[in-house]
Structures are given as structure tokens and as C-alpha cells.
Amino acid sequence: MRILALDSSTKTGSAALLDGESVVGEYILNVAMTHSERLLPAIERIMADAGWTGEDLGGIAVTLGPGSFTGLRIGMTTAKILAYLWNISLAGVPTLDALARQGELFAGLVCPLLDARRGEVYGGIYREGRTLKGPLNVPVGELLDCLPPGEQVLFLGDGAGKYWPIIQGALGERAVLAPGPNRILRASFVGLLGQEKLIRGEEEDPMTLTPFYLRRSEAEIKWGRMCDQRTSD
Amino acid sequence: MIEGLVLGLESSCDETAAAVVLQGRKVLANIISSQVEIHARFGGVVPEVASRKHVEMILPVLDEALKCAGVGLGDLWGVAATQGPGLVGGLLVGFTAAKALAFGLGVPFAAVNHVEGHIYANVLAHPDLTPPFVCLTVSGGHTDLLHVPEFGCYQVLGRTRDDAAGEAFDKVARFVGLGYPGGPAVDRLAQEGDREAIAFPRAMLGDGTFDFSFSGLKTSAVNHVHNLRQRGEEIPLPDFAASFQEAIVDVLVAKTLTAAEAVGVEKVVLSGGVAANSRLRERMMAEGQAMGFQVYYPPLVLCTDNGAMIASAGYFQLRAGRHSPLDANVIPGLRVG
Ligand SMILES: [Zn+2]
């Protein structure tokens, strides 16, 4: 199956074309420019370079979240519209699953971490591609406390670089930082997981699909507290 | 493809809207999904909550508009979306969707100014309306008095220096417990009240400018309620609403008509959410006509934020050759003129 894969869940933005397992093209741009300005031009560019049109595609894969709220909305809205327009299958890929896949050859635990701001991360713990824990939205220390003892742990994602001193302080020699190219999320891995999902028949409905934010909005958190207070009064 | 068939998307505040309009004048479908009930519990629009709802609603609303218009995606000649002003998270959803559509269909894209869009609600409603005219655009987000010598050309005569008129309605209504949104509630209550019961200030009236200010009026209304509450007196809501509304309408009507006279146009146009206010429509029409102006305002369904006005404005933009690129971004603080 031919797939267009998109990711704009973090500062890195990426688009890729896959034909089965083979990566036909991948575009990654890790700069401080909004996804609104660069996602669609990236898609336009990569499709033109590969000589593909919508008619060549069997599906679209996009990151579901967690990640930047705005980034997720831009990626998902684009994917939904294109899937609807070209009448092709849509696959939603959890951001942390795709990142974990980038470390699947590591013999040990894999811990993808996204910077969630406010001293927190979105993270999970994986072994051989299977989720042991997560996704969680917690301070990085709390996630490290969940790691089973003994094994080495590979860290990926923009949270890995940001919190590296804390991670190393807590785990010492057990902690391994993925090299730069593996640390950022690549749309080709989103495409790989998306393709597997589509083959398993796990298609999303573009009409109703919404991002997996993991974190509620500030207003809802405050509102929730007000309700809790009222019921505990 | 049908020549001049434009899809317009609007998501700048708390309505997710899509419409299909033919050649800027004929509305084939106009679908609006309002989030008012979702935001009512928060007492106003919460940006992140609104953005999340927009992502959920954009495709169903768009699909409904096409079905209702009886056209297919392949019939579209262009796509338009609101670029600003508005809430950034919401704007991005409609804007991103429109760019993806334009790219996928290989048709041109128009990034439309929301305030300009409101003016085109009148173009849709009144096929004979052509510039030059003076236009007052009033809503929860803007209070702009514009001179439009020709389509696509906007000279700002005045605008609010603080709160928008609709914002003043919402804030004061919320303060006296009328809920959100406040405008319609005040309008309804005011119909049974005495407009001269409470002497609220008419800010900047007769100051020689065409600018507005409503924060002083808001403070005065809040103080009035405070005083009554302190004395343990009940708030005479209908009188309060009627007097407050009259203070806003007085200034809006007087400044608009003075401006129209000063600029020397024959037509006066009212647009935006507050253009739905019955007292504003009634007085602008009566006093405008008494002064010899032709007065225009849109039907109620086109006063609220909608995709049809964006499609109409977008059509005229595209026809003038103003295509927007795929790397265009939203501009939350976008202004006209
Ligand atoms: Zn508006």
C-alpha cells in the first residue's frame, strides 16, 4: 500500500511517502516556523518530487497525540481533509508508539519522552515494541520511578534531550541517549505503524477523529476542581 | 467545476461554519455549528475548548454544506477561509482545512479578513448593494466604522479604543446573571423596560472623532448594580437592560450617521453579530432614512459568524486575482484598512 504520513506533534515537522515498507521519501524540518506555514508546502513538495498524486495513495497516517495541542490539530485537520477528499483510508498513530518504534532494535527498555512544558513530559515505557507503561503526563522524575530495575533504558524524543541531566542523575550508566537522528520523530515511522494498522483493519473515521491530547484544557481542569469542591462540601 | 462556486470556512470564535456560495451572491448552503452551549458554563468562550470542538466539527459541517448545496468537491472553483481576526487555535482549524482542500483539489485559496467577511453578509442579502458606503461592523470582537469606496478597499474612520460593543453586552449581562451570550438576553429584556430609567454615560459622543469606547459604560453599569446590591435593592432588569442598550445604540447610530454625512455617501451598512440587535436595526433604519440614507443590514442568520460571508468575500478576492499561498498563516490580530 502507498501511504502519505504526517507528523506535526512537536517542533519537528515531517512528511513521508511509503510504498509498503520501503520509504520513497521523507522530509524533516526542525526549525521554529509554524506548522501552519510549512506542513502543506512539505506535502506538496514531497509528492511533487516523488511524482505522486492523491490517486496513487491508499492511505494517510497521522500522529494522534500526545504533543503540542496546536500542532496536533494542524496535522490531524490536514490528514482528515485529504483522506476525505481522496477517499482513502486514515490511520491514527499514537505519537509515543511511533517514537518507541524508532528504538525497537535496542536490547532493553525504550522510553520516549515529549516535552509537555511546565516541568512535565508525555512519556511511556516500552519493551520490544510493546507498551509496559503509559502514555503518562507527569514530571520526568515520576516516569523514571516507574522503570523496572536492572535493564538499560534508551531515551528518545525532545524530552530526552531536555531532561538528560536529570535522567542521567537518576539512572547513571543504565541511561542511553538515542543519537540525534533517532531522537526526533520521523514521519516514516508514523507511516510504518499506520500501514500496519490499516492492514489489521484499524481504520479511523475522518468525520469523527479527534486528537488524543492526554491533558485537559486549563479551563476544564479549573472547572473540574470547582465541581469537586462542590461535591465535597 | 462550476464557475464561481466557492466553499467558505469560518472558525474564528465559537461557531464552526461552512457554506457554498455561487459567484459571491447566491447562498446554496450555509451550515453553522454553534458551541454556545459548551462555553455557557464557563461564562464566555474558552479558546482551547473551542479549538478542540472545531477539529471535531469541521469535516461534518463541511460535508453537510456540500450535501445541502447538492454539489461535489470536484465542482468547487475556489476555497476560502477566515485568516483573522479571531482566536488563533480556532482560526487554524478552518484555515488548515481550506488550504488542504485547495491543495487536494488544485483550486485557488483565498485568506479572508473576518471583518471584511461581515460586510459581505450584506452583499449576499442585498444583490443591489454596491459601494460607496459607510459600514459599521459590530460584534463581540470588533467595533469598526469603515468607509468602503469600492469592494476590496477599506478606509478606517473609527474603531473602539477598548471593549467591542458586543463584549460590553456580554460582560454586563454576565454580571447581572443573564448568562452567555449576553446580547440576545439584553435585547429581549430591554423590550419591556424603560430606556430612560437609568442615565448611563454616552462615551465619546460629540467628541469630533469616529472612535468608540465602551469600558466606561461597562464600569458605570457594574457600579450601578453594586450600589443597588449594597442597599439590598432588587435590580430592575428590564429597565437596566433597556437603559444600557440605549446608551450603546445612541453612540453607534449617531457616530455612524455623522460619519456617513461627513464622507458624503448615500448608503449606510450595518454588519456583525450586534447587527442582530433589534433596537440598533430599528433606530439605524429610522434615523438613517430620516436623513436621506439608504440603510442596509443582513438577515439574522447572516449576522452571526458564518461561512457564506467568507465564501462571498473570497469569491471577489479570487476574481480580482488575489490568490493566497499554501504557506499563508492565520493572523489573530488582523485588521482592515
Ligand atoms: Zn464576527
Q: Do B155 and B281 reside in the same domain of the chain?
A: yes
What average pLDDT does range A81-107 have in this prediction? 97
pLDDT band at residue A229 under the 50/70/90 scheme: low
pLDDT > 70? residue B203: yes
pLDDT band at residue A108 under the 50/70/90 scheme: very high
Q: Which of A137, A143, A159, A138 is nearest to A213 (CA)?
A: A137
Asked whether residue B332 is domain-assigned, the answer is no
Contacts of B93 in chain A (CB under 8 A): 73, 77
What average pLDDT does range B188-200 have in this prediction? 95
CATH of the domain at B253: 3.30.420.40
Residue A217: the pLDDT is 82
Question: d(Cα A193, Cα B265) in Å, to the nearest integer?
Answer: 63
pLDDT band at residue B158 under the 50/70/90 scheme: very high
Contacts of B103 in chain A (CB under 8 A): 40, 43-44
Asked whether residue B136 is domain-assigned, the answer is yes
Q: Do B201 and B101 reside in the same domain of the chain?
A: no
In the block, residue with C-alpha cell 511517502: A17
Q: Name residues whose C-beta falls within 8 Å of residue B79's C-beta, 6 or more positions apart in sequence.
A: B6, B7, B8, B9, B98, B99, B101, B102, B105, B107, B108, B109, B110, B314
Q: How many CB atoms lie within 10 A of CB A23?
A: 17
Residue A170's SS3 state is: helix
Residue A207's SS3 state is: coil
Distances (CA, A) of A45 to A5, A90, A196, B47, B161: 14, 21, 25, 32, 44
Q: Do B311 and B273 reside in the same domain of the chain?
A: no
What average pLDDT does range B20-48 have in this prediction? 91
Least confident of A159-168, B39-48, B195-204, B239-248: B39-48
Torsion sign over Cα A47, A53, A57, A59: positive
Asked whether residue B159 is domain-assigned, the answer is yes
pLDDT band at residue A233 under the 50/70/90 scheme: very low
Q: Number of residue pairs across A and B with CB atoms under 8 Å?
A: 96
Asked whether residue B145 is domain-assigned, the answer is yes
Number of structural domains, chain B? 2
Asked whether residue B329 is domain-assigned, the answer is no
Q: How many CB atoms lie within 10 A of CB A102?
A: 23
Least confident of A47-51, A79-83, A101-105, B179-183: B179-183
Q: How many CB atoms lie within 10 A of CB B175?
A: 15
Question: d(Cα A210, Cα A73) in Å, to the nearest integer?
Answer: 8
Q: Do B94 and B224 reside in the same domain of the chain?
A: no
Residue B40: the pLDDT is 82
CB B23 within 8 A of CB B315: yes
Q: How many CB atoms lie within 10 A of CB A147?
A: 18
What average pLDDT does range B227-233 have in this prediction? 92
What is the extent of the structural domain holding B186? 132-298
pLDDT band at residue B182 under the 50/70/90 scheme: confident
Q: Do B262 and B279 reside in the same domain of the chain?
A: yes
Q: What is the pLDDT of residues B78-134, one digit of tens each?
A: 999 999 999 999 999 999 999 999 999 999 999 999 999 999 999 999 988 999 999
Q: Do B88 and B224 reside in the same domain of the chain?
A: no
Asked whether residue B125 is domain-assigned, the answer is no
Q: Do B62 and B197 reside in the same domain of the chain?
A: no
Q: Do B170 and B200 reside in the same domain of the chain?
A: yes
Q: Do B136 and B52 reside in the same domain of the chain?
A: no
CB B172 within 8 A of CB B244: yes
Asked whether residue B331 is domain-assigned, the answer is no
Q: Which of B287, B257, B260 is nearest to B149 (CA)?
A: B260
Q: Do B112 and B253 reside in the same domain of the chain?
A: no
What average pLDDT does range A11-30 have in this prediction? 96
Chain B residues at the A interface, defined by Cβ less than 8 Å, are 41-42, 46, 48-49, 51-52, 54-56, 58-60, 63, 73, 88-89, 92-93, 95-97, 99-101, 103-105, 326-330
Q: Do B81 and B193 reside in the same domain of the chain?
A: no
Q: Which of B69, B79, B77, B108 is nearest to B3 (CA)?
A: B77
The strand pair at B153-159 and A109-115 is best described as unpaired
Contacts of B42 in chain A (CB under 8 A): 219, 223
Q: What is the pLDDT of residues B258-286, one digit of tens each?
A: 999 999 999 999 999 999 999 999 999 99
Q: What is the pLDDT of residues A163-201, one digit of tens each?
A: 999 999 999 999 999 999 999 999 999 999 999 999 999
Q: Which helix (H) or strand (E) holds B269?
A: strand B267-271
ipTM: 0.94
pLDDT > 80? residue A219: no
Mean pLDDT of chain B: 94
pLDDT > 90? residue A228: no
Q: Which residue has the higher pLDDT, B31 or B127?
A: B31
Structural domains of chain A in order of their starting residue, each with its CATH number: 2-96+185-219 (3.30.420.40), 104-183 (3.30.420.40)
Question: d(Cα A129, Cα A117) in Å, to the nearest integer?
Answer: 26
Asked whether residue B251 is domain-assigned, the answer is yes
Q: Do B94 and B163 reside in the same domain of the chain?
A: no
**Which residue of chain A comes nearest to B53, CA vs CA?**
A210
Q: How many CA atoms does the CB half-sphere of A103 hold within 13 Å?
A: 33
Residue A232: the pLDDT is 45
